[in-house]
Amino acid sequence: MKKSLLLVVIMCMATITGIQAQKFAGMQKSPTDISYAKADRNSKPEIKVVYSRPQKKGRTIFGELVPYGKVWRTGADEATEIKLFKDMKLGDGTVKAGTYSLYTIPGEKEWTVILNSDLDAWGAYSYDKSKDVARIKVTPAKGKELEAFSIAFKKVDKGYHMVLGWDTTMIEVPFYM
């Protein structure tokens, strides 16, 4: 009995020591966030976006950190992913329910918003235009300054506008049912 108890104590000590020796990575510099489009708080989501939120940190964002005219992952780290829970109209086309990477091509006067079928991509380094499912052009607007890149949804008559903002730039992407 004493040997069994001693063995249990030794195993517990080894486990505790192993846990204490575990090293955890530092805080994520661009924390991951999720934004939902829902009819109301208790409804199931109709759109879900998972993205990382880079911080401004005094930098000039669009035109410098995020160059104009180049494909951007629309956030930081992995490419932003958007899940449509039902078929939705985006621009002149309909996008089937499913999960897509969300890319953008920022411009001073016009942005291109892209849904792409290639998932789990790091950044936009492996972006493949042949896998684009939908594209829409939107006009950027000036808004209140945001330190962290942010995505939110606002309910409109027949769907949602996905609002993306960072620094003083905002765009709205219309999704209709």
Q: For residue 123, what are its two tokens?
A: 């950044």
Residue 35 one-letter amino acid: S
pLDDT for 3: 57
Q: For residue 29, what are its two tokens?
A: 């510099």
Question: Per-domain residue ranges for the chain?
Answer: 27-176
β-pairing verdict for 80-84 and 98-105: antiparallel
Query: Of 148, 168, 152, 136, which Cα lies nearest the Cα of 62?
Result: 168
Query: pLDDT tens digits for 54-68?
Result: 999 999 999 999 999
Give yes or no for residue 52 having a pLDDT over 90.
Answer: yes
| Weakest mean pLDDT among 15-24, 72-81, 93-102, 145-154 | 15-24
Give yes or no for residue 122 having a pLDDT over 60.
Answer: yes
Higher pLDDT, 69 or 29: 69
Cα torsion 38, 111, 168, 99: sign:
positive
Q: 31 pLDDT band (50/70/90 cuts)?
A: confident
Q: Global pTM?
A: 0.83
Cα separation, 18 vs 20, in Å, equals 5
Provide the 3-class DSSP secondary structure of residue 56: coil
Distance set, CA 114 to CA 27, 50, 72, 168 (Å): 30, 15, 10, 22
